[in-house]
């Protein structure tokens, strides 16, 4: 096999910058990383490792076809590679070598267009090399560096630990490029049953669908039983079509990775569970009995429990971070969330640095910490909770500036930083808009999961909008696009009303 030189992978160089982000990395500069001197993989480093056995196929550079692989080697377009690089979130953690995604972004934004283009071509060639298959991989001695990961242990809510592997940026980049080719097929094949991949807002759609069923008075009470399932393997491959054909009475059959929720009568849930237990072991899937749960609404006989080895609850349960059940259980999570945020905010003064306190307050403890609650719960139920949240941040701002802050100043502080505010948005001002936007974004998925109109549990926000328009509320999906458009233009309408 012909030795691939570093100059064919990383050609061109970019002058270093004094204020370069890459100066903080283990490498001299992100642009030097792609330069030809010194190369990452030089002939000396490649020759130091034992050469692989001579393949039976022709050399890579030979124009003749490879008998064992009739298809040509994979080649990623530069546009796909550039999109994959820019898709990395800011401050993405580095892998074992310390190379960050921001270093790649900076290298591709070189002031010289020609150098930036050469860098992108070299990066595309390298990503294509890694994704083309076993006959093109670098020597085995490099594999631990490209395929290794930094392992961290994060404590779960229980006593268990969650292992988190932070892989090398080049491997993650190649994975993003490969996934971009498969995503169109994933979006066609997995929904509506599996919403964990290729389904934006999949978790919210599952939560809204179940709440629609629970709030619909036309559904018999004996069909409101829920069975929450959890597998020990995230790669769920249960035959959902068989469940749908053999148990047509199920009101809901939705999955988010290994977390599933079934809703229907006791007999239908038992039949669906029998199919799952029949097919699951052959696919390497095993139910976690301790994490499965049967929800039996209040006033229903406890004899409706699906199985004795699966625990049951009549108060409620947690589905993908959202509480489902009685009103008291329903409001327990947001109250607990506010108390938890209050505890964290009380610890901020120990930093004794106002800038650090503000950064943590805005980035980690503000509205983003409350986002799931506001997007999945009706705003009329959260009035006291959102007020407690806003009052908490009002006091936090007063502590930061060292004096009392008026309501008007608190309102101005909710503006974005680029508009002169602090970026600490108020939950009470955004709750209705966030809830409506979540329902609107999940309309198609919700209809595919459960073909039903929007229930009264969103009627509060509808009533507000239609009262402005002078119409009566109509909770149908067909009118929701109009309602959302009106809601989006509501700030402009209020501004015009002031003149």
Residues contacting residue 412 through CB under 8 Å, at least 6 positions apart:
420, 421
Query: Of 372, 413, 420, 417, which is closest to residue 390 (Cα–Cα)?
Result: 413
As a whole number, the mean pLDDT across the chain is 74
- Does the structure show a pLDDT above 80 at 11? no
Instruction: Tell me the mean pLDDT in the region 7-19.
Output: 37
Q: In what order do the strands lie in the sheet with 312-313?
A: 252-256, 259-264, 225-230, 293-295, 312-313
- Does the structure show a pLDDT above 70 at 336? yes
- Does the structure show a pLDDT above 70 at 52? no
pLDDT at 254: 82
Q: Structure pTM?
A: 0.65
Q: Name residue, tokens 């602090």.
A: 422
- Does the structure show a pLDDT above 70 at 413? yes
pLDDT at 176: 92
pLDDT at 400: 86
pLDDT at 71: 46
- Does the structure show a pLDDT above 90 at 28? no
Query: Do residues 395 and 406 lie in contact, with contact meaning Cβ atoms separated by under 8 Å?
Result: no
Q: Which residue has the higher pLDDT, 51 or 397?
A: 397
Tens digit of each residue's pLDDT (9 = 90 or more) over 256-315: 887 888 888 888 888 888 888 888 887 777 888 878 888 888 766 656 567 778 888 888
Query: Going by DSSP bridges, is the β-strand pair 312-313/293-295 parallel, antiparallel, or unpaired?
Result: parallel
Q: How confident is the model at residue 137 (pLDDT cuts 50, 70, 90)?
A: low
- Does the structure show a pLDDT above 60 at 355? yes
pLDDT at 173: 93
Peptide bond into 38 cis (omega under 30): yes
pLDDT at 389: 92
Q: How confident is the model at residue 339 (pLDDT cuts 50, 70, 90)?
A: very high
Separation between Cα atoms, residue 131 and residue 137, nearest integer Å: 9
Looking at the chain, the domain(s) classified CATH 3.30.70 span 202-323
Fold of 202-323: Alpha-Beta Plaits (3.30.70)
Tens digit of each residue's pLDDT (9 = 90 or more) over 379-407: 888 889 999 999 999 999 888 888 888 88
Query: Do residues 268 and 249 lie in contact, with contact meaning Cβ atoms separated by under 8 Å?
Result: yes
Tens digit of each residue's pLDDT (9 = 90 or more) over 154-174: 887 777 788 888 999 999 999
Give bridge partners of residue 155 from the DSSP assignment.
161
Cβ neighbours, 10 Å, residue 439: 27
Tens digit of each residue's pLDDT (9 = 90 or more) over 453-495: 555 555 554 545 544 444 444 444 444 444 545 555 555 444 4
Instruction: Tell me the mean pLDDT in the region 26-44.
Output: 38
Buried b (16+ CB within 10 A) or exposed e, 283-303: eebebeeebbbbbbbeeeeee
pLDDT at 169: 92
């Amino acid at each position: 096999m012909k030795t691939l030189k570093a100059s064919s992978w990383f050609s061109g160089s970019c002058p270093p910058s004094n204020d370069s982000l890459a100066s903080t990395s283990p490498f001299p500069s992100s642009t030097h990383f792609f330069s030809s001197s010194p190369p990452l993989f030089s002939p000396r480093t490649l020759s130091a490792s034992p050469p692989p056995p001579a393949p039976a196929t022709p050399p890579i550079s030979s124009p003749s076809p490879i008998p064992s692989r009739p298809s040509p080697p994979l080649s990623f377009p530069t546009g796909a590679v550039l999109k994959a690089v820019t898709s990395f979130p800011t401050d993405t953690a580095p892998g074992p070598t310390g190379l960050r995604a921001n270093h790649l972004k900076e290298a591709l934004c070189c002031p010289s267009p020609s150098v930036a283009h050469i860098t992108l071509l070299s990066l595309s060639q390298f990503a294509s090399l890694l994704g083309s298959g076993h006959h093109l991989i670098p020597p085995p001695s490099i594999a631990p560096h490209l395929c290794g990961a930094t392992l961290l242990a994060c404590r779960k809510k229980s006593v268990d630990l969650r292992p988190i592997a932070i892989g090398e940026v080049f491997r993650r980049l190649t994975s993003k490029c490969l996934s971009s080719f498969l995503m169109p097929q994933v979006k066609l094949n997995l929904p509506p049953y599996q919403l964990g991949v290729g389904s934006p807002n999949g978790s919210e759609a599952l939560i809204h669908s179940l709440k629609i069923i629970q709030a619909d008075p036309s559904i018999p009470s004996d069909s409101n039983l829920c069975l929450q399932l959890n597998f020990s393997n995230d790669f769920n491959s249960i035959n959902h079509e068989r469940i749908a054909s053999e148990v047509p009475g199920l009101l809901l059959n939705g999955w988010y990775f290994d977390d599933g929720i079934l809703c229907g009568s006791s007999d239908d849930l038992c039949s669906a569970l029998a199919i799952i237990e029949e097919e699951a072991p052959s696919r390497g899937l095993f139910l976690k009995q301790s994490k499965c749960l049967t929800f039996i609404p209040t006033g229903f006989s406890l004899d409706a429990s699906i199985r004795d080895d699966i625990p049951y609850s009549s108060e409620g349960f947690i589905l993908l971070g959202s509480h489902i059940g009685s009103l008291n259980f329903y409001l327990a999570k947001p109250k607990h969330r506010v108390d938890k945020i209050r505890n964290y905010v009380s610890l901020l003064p120990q930093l004794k640095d106002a800038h650090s306190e503000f950064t943590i307050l805005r980035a980690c403890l503000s509205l983003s910490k409350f986002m799931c609650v506001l997007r999945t719960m009706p705003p009329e139920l959260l009035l006291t909770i959102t007020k407690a949240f806003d009052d908490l941040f009002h006091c936090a701002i007063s502590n930061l500036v060292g004096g009392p802050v008026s309501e008007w100043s608190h309102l101005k502080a909710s503006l974005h930083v680029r508009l002169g505010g602090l970026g600490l948005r108020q939950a009470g001002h955004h709750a209705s808009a966030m809830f409506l936007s979540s329902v609107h974004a999940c309309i198609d998925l919700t209809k595919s999961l459960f073909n039903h109109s929007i229930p009264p549990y969103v009627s509060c926000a509808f009533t507000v909008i239609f009262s402005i328009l002078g119409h009566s509320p109509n909770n149908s999906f067909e009118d929701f696009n109009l309602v959302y458009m009106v809601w989006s233009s509501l700030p402009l309408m209020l501004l015009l009303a002031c003149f």
